[in-house]
Structure 1
Amino acid sequence: MARPISELPDARHETFRIRHLCETLDEYLEPEQVAEVYQAYLFGAEAHDGQHRLSGEPYITHPIAVARILAELHVDHLSIMAAILHDVIEDTEIPKERVEKRFGKDVAELVDGVSKLTHIHFENKAEAQAENFRKMMLAMTRDIRVILIKLADRLHNMRTLGVMRPDKRRRIARETLDIYAPIANRLGMNNVRLELEDLGFSAMYPWRSRILDEGLRKARGNRKEIVTKIEETIKTRLEQEALNGQVIGREKHLYSIYKKMREKHLAFSEVMDVYAFRIIVDSVDACYRVLGVIHNLYTPVPGRFKDYIAIPKANGYQSLHTVLMSPYGVAIEVQIRTGDMHKVSEAGIAAHWLYKTNENISNNAQMRARQWLHELLEMQQNAGNSIEFLEHVKIDLFPDEVYVLTPHGEIKVLPRGATAVDFAYAVHTDVGNQCVAAKIDRRLMPLRTVLLNGQTVEIVTSKGAQPNPAWLDFVTTAKARSNIRAFLKNLHKEEATILGMRLLNKSLAAHGSGLDNMAEEQVQQVLNEFNFENMEQMFSEIGFGNQMAMVIARALMSGESEAAGESDKTAARPLAIKGTEGTVVTYAKCCRPIPGDPILGFVTSGRGIVIHTEDCKNVAEYRNRPEKWIDVKWEQDIEGEFPIDIRMLVHNQRGVLATIAATLSEMEANIENVSIEERDGLHSTLSFTVSVKHRQHLARVMRRLRSLDMVSRIHRLKR
């Protein structure tokens, strides 16, 4: 049983805090629900008994403060209880099962979702942080209240960050600005987002924050008179038009000023020249009528009007935005919205609890948040690890939006810079995987085309098509990136499996055997010994270079595993390189091997086999690792094109580059890259990366180039 409150340490201070919380809860919760919250407090206070924060305060003051932040949002009593208990599983000896038995499954799941993974070993801090984030986001997809508690937790930690070491303050501030403030923004929780940003900014860049704050205070005195005059003028005109509206002059926040200065390379005075006003009315119809009145009052700036009522933002935010020129020679920014829209703009998804009197208030925010959570779940399933998942979510958290249409008139919201491929994946994963072309406003355009507001996009698909690795260079949405990577990983695994089978058969051939001659019991014994689930996994691990084929071959032949060592390569035939192995066989950029070159293979963990020429200077560095080398040769009738570097000294004359490019094209050698370096006034050095079919093809190309009068010297380049 929890001890009575009077017996707990620092009881007077805690009594004041819990009493203040309960008074807030009494405003909107039933008495029995407030009593349950109080029981959670007694449980948490006893669990944290003896623990203190760096400030010296009893630890329980932090959970109570988190609960108070949530109480201001009028969240349900289970969330308040979970907020009070949110550090119990992580920071005390109390297990989740005990919390569940005492307060129910919902509270236990919420507490567990917020808790970090403190008992699992990770390779490094980045991996641990990414895995903690992944766990929290997945818990959020099951129950949105998890992120509300986590945001309140982070907000109170930021308010009390001053006691931390400077390096730790900066790390937490960076995490807040990179992750938590954008999540609050994505969920439409504007008030929380703004405070997190300003606190994060002052902790990350204390001097910049202080200087901007001082500049803002000085500017405030000069601005006050203009703001008052504009405010009065707008109010008077609204009254003349019989429109009821609340007019509020507002200041920009420090971090938003700083971001605008950096992104647009503006001086502080240029940012502060924009005066911001908000007009709150009672209906959507009134919003558009007020817009007409404002545009008659002041001259609107072309291209600066945005209708987020007809087309809400991704987080459900709705408002009319317009920028006008005032008679005082300064621009004014006006936002026009209804009272309900204003509530949602401030509280976002939390408006579901905060304003229960009108069930339709937060429908937009709720619906869009659910859609985002569904996409998060899909990203998690496709991501290879926690760090990759975190990278995808970060991309998704900064949407400067563009609005495009499907052929049926449906609006798709994409981040600015999104391409036709991003649009295809936004329609459906299968559409993205099978897209081959795009029609933008009925014109056929490349898939990498960046989309603009108002365009109509139609995707052309083909059943046999599949994602191209080159798409990763230009897609911007997390959904597109994660789906392309997931497809390519599966593709790479198939390639690695085929290569691994060939490598193992080659090693077995050195012992005068092959996979077909292996008894099933013998294979199963080796699978168990190396912890392979099946033969496919064994082949793929060999193909990726994570296991040595010779070690597996010896184990299969002898029935027991041996340490990797010198293998008897005398009887083994070299592995034939076909050029169609895919990404598990790569060609070293240091020597650029092509068919016809004497070659060696180097087995690299995670990459498969890297092919080098025998005379490559890097081969000498790897000689002390003979177990990693593998004999390889080119297949007799190899197909495909291989990049090669050539360098030539040419006379400086007009049209030299065009002549050489035309010659290479004539010789069927495709140019992949070119760089020019002037040596003196008479000569220049040209470096080309060209694709050739084989060594004989390269020889013909170089002979033809050498015959040009403008070419003084030419040679194949090896780095």
Structure 2
Amino acid sequence: MTIQEQYEHLEKTVRGYNPSADLDHIRTAFEYADKCHAGQKRKSGEPYIIHPLAVAQIVAEELKLDSESIEAALLHDVIEDTPAEHADVSRLFSPTIADLVEGVSKLTRIQYATKEDEQMENLRKMLIAMSKDIRVILIKISDRLHNMRTMEYQSPEKQKQKSLETMEIYAPISHRLGMQRMKWELEDLSLKYLDPVGYEEIVSRLEAKKTEYDMFMQKTRAQVETRLDELAIPHLVYGRVKHPYSIYRKMFSQNKNLDEIFDLFAFRVVVDNVGDCYNVLGVVHDIFTPILGRFKDYIGTPKPNGYQSLHTTVMGTDGIPFEVQIRTRDMHEVSEYGVAAHWKYKQNGQGAGAEGKYEWVRRLLENQEGADAEEFIHSLKIDMFADEVFVFTPNGDVQNLPAGATPIDFAYAIHSAVGNRMVGAKVNGRIVTFDHTLKSGDIVEILTSKGAKGPSRDWMKIAKSNEARSKIRQWFKKERRDENIVNGRAAFEAELKHCGLSMKDLLGPDRLPGLLKKVTYPTLDDMYAAIGYGGFTAQKAVSRMQGELQRIAKQQAEKHALEALENAPRSEEPRPAAPKRIKSEQGIIVEGLDNCLVKFSKCCTPVPGDEIVGFITRGYGVSVHRSDCPNASKSRRTDPALADRWIKVSWGSDTNESYPTTLEVVAKDRLNLLLDVSAALSTTKTFVSGIQCRSTDDGFAIARMEIRVRDGEQMHTIINKLNQISGVLQVTRPSG
């Protein structure tokens, strides 16, 4: 199909559901986008305009949005990928369309310290635009859907990165907006690249049993339709096999294979009115045996995204369980298209106003104020995408909270003042503890007192919703600044010491401003206060400052290294021994160099007691390797091109309290293996900064641990302890 034919297909689609659409404006947007993207190609080699056209087709065909949305979809990449600017789009089309395009665009012109910071700012910007006009996210999801449909042209690394982002962010947003069809496709496409073997296994097995499954669904549908016809209830009944990701998730969570999962089928019954929904429920329970505890009434208590339906799971006459969803036509429309259903047949922005139902977007943004990238992404997943429970106030008002919520979350959901003055809670008339887990249907009463001292710091660990944690942080930030500064400073200095640094390393006038800029606080007291009330962590502060300290030391290290190269003897005779330095750098004495930047190579992670050798790097001081490291092999040390850069180093008497290193354990895979490894590390009082485990196809497990140790003696003790674990075959220190 040519580009022109694709555009004509788009026009035909729009005309089919919206005869009054402004097709002249849509054509103008297409021609402008085609002109802006002229000469640009996609990874597939196709002209770039194919992508905006496909996104507009999704917006029209699957969401049936208004003319402005179609135009914005056609233009969605012109601000990001071409010289066109917001003002140009605003002048040629409209300020509303320009805002939609700007909202969908990424922040491509700003450099961020980390990938997480960039992702956070893109999401934050998108959510702000979304809170003003919900169409921004509808176009963005359509954009991501087409990118996922054409992901085969990207590199394997890009495929996994984009698929993970889609699974963690865009599919859940689609769910939160009630757009189930798009959510399912996004999940299935992501799984295809995240676990291609698992995906292919499920798809091929479903295809192999297609005839058997079709017969079961036809028989079940006929049973329901026959009874509804007898009762003269107008209806539409259809069934489907659950989509691959839904099956995959059930297999993973329940540790079952496909043959062991029986509730693969879901049936929908669509009727004319709410009364008929409950009548159909009675019919279904009469024909089939209902499974206890598997009935949910989302008509009486709708989900926050507006979803309404009756859900029940029953046992079929063949002994096969399946789910039945019963809803009206309007409910079905909202279920399939979510918030997009509010925009159908709307023109010239007349669909605006539905955003009032999505006040949660604004609350979400408020709750993230001051959060760093990692906290923002983590909180987003909890607040936006978690399963929910519905609880009631004593007056009968419904509050929806994340699964696992406590009375603390409930109190702060009502009002900050209620949470700050809380002294107790009752659930269903009985006093409960603050960490009591609320369940759907609970009636919760918060007991308050004007004399309450305010929240406890422990509440931060108990609360499940970011809204509650954010309000608790704000209270501590406002009421306890002096206390926060004291606590924050103590935590910061302890972390500095843990990393082998001291305050004097930071306080020089040439260093402190740059270090504070790295942590984005104007003064040290502001940073201490943030650490004290939980808005920032000492670990992140020191981590960011370490990078800046290395940058500051770079020039000095380079200068010393170059001087050493210039002054080094060129003869074949052995170098005369340099006088031993009294003070070492991080426990390392470098022959012939004083005050030199030292770093420990990540390839072999040496610790005190190891035989070591140094290598003078360009710009980063001396890199210390274990003598048995492949990167410090004899052939490399005698290479004429590198020989002058190898230097003698030794351990000093003033070593650090701990050094990072890596251990790798190979064992027979079994239940509780990781638990036994963790226990061994705990009994040796080993600090573990990270652990990764994987199973091999031949029944073995490989665990890689990032730990900190004092010296080789402690390392030897740890290795002996790990070797005593049942099933462990070898414990090694990776190198090279």
Fold match, TM over 0.5?
yes
Letter in 2 for 1:235: E
SS in 2 for 1:321: strand
Which one of 84, 95, 98 corresponds to residue 88 of structure 2? Answer: 98
Structure 1 position 17, deviation (Å) = 1.5
Q: Does 1:440 align with 2:427?
A: yes
Distance 1:31 1:341, change over 3 A: closer
Equivalent pair of 1:421/1:480 in contact (CA under 8 Å): yes
For residues 174 and 475 of structure 1, the distance between their equivalents in structure 2, rounded to whole angstroms, comes to 27
Q: Corresponding residue for 1:75?
A: 65
Q: Does 1:62 align with 2:51?
A: yes
Which one of 26, 34, 53 corresponds to residue 42 of structure 2? Answer: 53
Letter in 1 for 2:235: G
Q: Does 1:423 align with 2:413?
A: no
Range 93-102 or range 216-225, more displaced: 216-225
For residues 464 and 384 of structure 2, the distance between their equivalents in structure 1, rounded to whole angstroms, comes to 12
For residues 336 and 530 of structure 2, the distance between their equivalents in structure 1, rounded to whole angstroms, comes to 53
For residues 385 and 197 of structure 1, the distance between their equivalents in structure 2, rounded to whole angstroms, comes to 27
Structure 1 position 165, deviation (Å) = 0.6
For residues 463 and 360 of structure 2, the distance between their equivalents in structure 1, rounded to whole angstroms, comes to 18
For residues 133 and 474 of structure 2, the distance between their equivalents in structure 1, rounded to whole angstroms, comes to 26
Equivalent pair of 2:116/2:374 in contact (CA under 8 Å): yes
1:102-126 CA distance string (max 9 Å, x none): 1121111111111111111111112
For residues 239 and 433 of structure 2, the distance between their equivalents in structure 1, rounded to whole angstroms, comes to 46
Equivalent pair of 1:134/1:390 in contact (CA under 8 Å): no
For residues 101 and 465 of structure 1, the distance between their equivalents in structure 2, rounded to whole angstroms, comes to 57
Q: Does 1:251 align with 2:236?
A: no
Letter in 1 for 2:434: L
Structure 1 position 30, deviation (Å) = 5.7
SS in 2 for 1:109: helix
Q: Corresponding residue for 2:359?
A: 371
Distance 1:619 1:307, change over 3 A: farther
TM-score normalised by L of structure 1: 0.67
Structure 1 position 267, deviation (Å) = 2.6
Distance 1:604 1:48, change over 3 A: closer
For residues 538 and 162 of structure 2, the distance between their equivalents in structure 1, rounded to whole angstroms, comes to 42
For residues 477 and 418 of structure 1, the distance between their equivalents in structure 2, rounded to whole angstroms, comes to 7
For residues 378 and 313 of structure 1, the distance between their equivalents in structure 2, rounded to whole angstroms, comes to 22
Structure 1 position 497, deviation (Å) = 5.9
For residues 62 and 330 of structure 1, the distance between their equivalents in structure 2, rounded to whole angstroms, comes to 43
Structure 1 position 583, deviation (Å) = 8.6
Q: Corresponding residue for 1:26?
A: 15
Structure 1 position 432, deviation (Å) = 2.5
Range 327-336 or range 163-172, more displaced: 327-336
Q: Corresponding residue for 1:540?
A: 525
Equivalent pair of 2:225/2:237 in contact (CA under 8 Å): yes
Q: Corresponding residue for 1:174?
A: 164
Q: How does 1:28-47 map to 2 (within 5 A)?
A: 28-29=17-18, 33-47=22-36
Q: Does 1:159 align with 2:146?
A: no
SS in 2 for 1:469: coil
Pick the structure with greater CA Rg. Answer: 1
Structure 1 position 169, deviation (Å) = 0.2
Unaligned segments of structure 2, at least 5 residues: 491-511, 547-583, 596-678, 686-736
Q: Corresponding residue for 1:343?
A: 333
Q: Corresponding residue for 2:626?
A: none
Which one of 434, 444, 457 corresponds to residue 444 of structure 2? Answer: 457
Q: Does 1:332 align with 2:332?
A: no
Q: Corresponding residue for 2:713?
A: none
Distance 1:68 1:542, change over 3 A: closer
Q: Does 1:400 align with 2:390?
A: no
Q: Corresponding residue for 1:316?
A: 306
Equivalent pair of 2:271/2:277 in contact (CA under 8 Å): yes
For residues 58 and 587 of structure 1, the distance between their equivalents in structure 2, rounded to whole angstroms, comes to 49
Q: How does 1:468-483 map to 2 (within 5 A)?
A: 468-483=456-471
For residues 281 and 167 of structure 1, the distance between their equivalents in structure 2, rounded to whole angstroms, comes to 47
Structure 1 position 31, deviation (Å) = 5.9
Unaligned segments of structure 1, at least 5 residues: 1-11, 503-526, 547-580, 589-601, 608-617, 626-676, 679-684, 688-719
For residues 545 and 66 of structure 1, the distance between their equivalents in structure 2, rounded to whole angstroms, comes to 43
1:32-57 CA distance string (max 9 Å, x none): 71111111111111111110100011
Query: What fraction of aligned residue pairs are identical, expressed as a percent?
Result: 42
For residues 603 and 171 of structure 1, the distance between their equivalents in structure 2, rounded to whole angstroms, comes to 28
Q: Corresponding residue for 1:242?
A: 232
Over the aligned positions, Cα root-mean-square deviation in angstroms equals 3.9
For residues 56 and 67 of structure 1, the distance between their equivalents in structure 2, rounded to whole angstroms, comes to 20
Range 119-128 or range 423-432, more displaced: 423-432
For residues 38 and 583 of structure 1, the distance between their equivalents in structure 2, rounded to whole angstroms, comes to 53
Letter in 1 for 2:121: E
Equivalent pair of 2:412/2:468 in contact (CA under 8 Å): yes
Equivalent pair of 2:406/2:463 in contact (CA under 8 Å): yes
* Number of residue-to-residue matches in the alignment: 531
Distance 1:43 1:31, change over 3 A: farther
SS in 2 for 1:397: helix
For residues 147 and 543 of structure 2, the distance between their equivalents in structure 1, rounded to whole angstroms, comes to 45
Distance 1:342 1:482, change over 3 A: same
Q: Corresponding residue for 1:692?
A: none
For residues 605 and 169 of structure 1, the distance between their equivalents in structure 2, rounded to whole angstroms, comes to 29
Q: How does 1:104-183 map to 2 (within 5 A)?
A: 104-183=94-173
Structure 1 position 289, deviation (Å) = 0.6
Structure 1 position 461, deviation (Å) = 2.5
For residues 421 and 389 of structure 2, the distance between their equivalents in structure 1, rounded to whole angstroms, comes to 23
Letter in 1 for 2:40: Q
Q: Corresponding residue for 2:639?
A: none
Q: Corresponding residue for 1:307?
A: 297
Equivalent pair of 2:21/2:67 in contact (CA under 8 Å): no
Letter in 2 for 1:415: P
Structure 1 position 28, deviation (Å) = 4.0
Structure 1 position 374, deviation (Å) = 2.9
TM-score normalised by L of structure 2: 0.66
Letter in 2 for 1:53: R
For residues 163 and 605 of structure 1, the distance between their equivalents in structure 2, rounded to whole angstroms, comes to 36
Equivalent pair of 2:262/2:320 in contact (CA under 8 Å): no
Distance 1:319 1:367, change over 3 A: farther
For residues 545 and 449 of structure 1, the distance between their equivalents in structure 2, rounded to whole angstroms, comes to 29
Equivalent pair of 2:134/2:355 in contact (CA under 8 Å): no
Q: Corresponding residue for 2:694?
A: none
Structure 1 position 484, deviation (Å) = 2.8
For residues 418 and 545 of structure 2, the distance between their equivalents in structure 1, rounded to whole angstroms, comes to 30
Equivalent pair of 2:298/2:308 in contact (CA under 8 Å): yes
Equivalent pair of 2:477/2:529 in contact (CA under 8 Å): no
For residues 489 and 619 of structure 1, the distance between their equivalents in structure 2, rounded to whole angstroms, comes to 38
Structure 1 position 545, deviation (Å) = 11
Distance 1:529 1:314, change over 3 A: closer
For residues 686 and 377 of structure 1, the distance between their equivalents in structure 2, rounded to whole angstroms, comes to 44
For residues 45 and 399 of structure 1, the distance between their equivalents in structure 2, rounded to whole angstroms, comes to 41
For residues 583 and 392 of structure 1, the distance between their equivalents in structure 2, rounded to whole angstroms, comes to 14
Equivalent pair of 1:300/1:325 in contact (CA under 8 Å): yes
Q: Corresponding residue for 1:657?
A: none
For residues 277 and 545 of structure 1, the distance between their equivalents in structure 2, rounded to whole angstroms, comes to 52
Letter in 1 for 2:340: A
For residues 528 and 92 of structure 2, the distance between their equivalents in structure 1, rounded to whole angstroms, comes to 52
Q: How does 1:283-682 map to 2 (within 5 A)?
A: 283-354=273-344, 368=357, 370-381=358-369, 383-463=370-450, 464-490=452-478, 493-495=481-483, 538=523, 540-541=525-526
Q: Does 1:278 align with 2:268?
A: yes
Q: Corresponding residue for 1:699?
A: none
Structure 1 position 430, deviation (Å) = 2.8
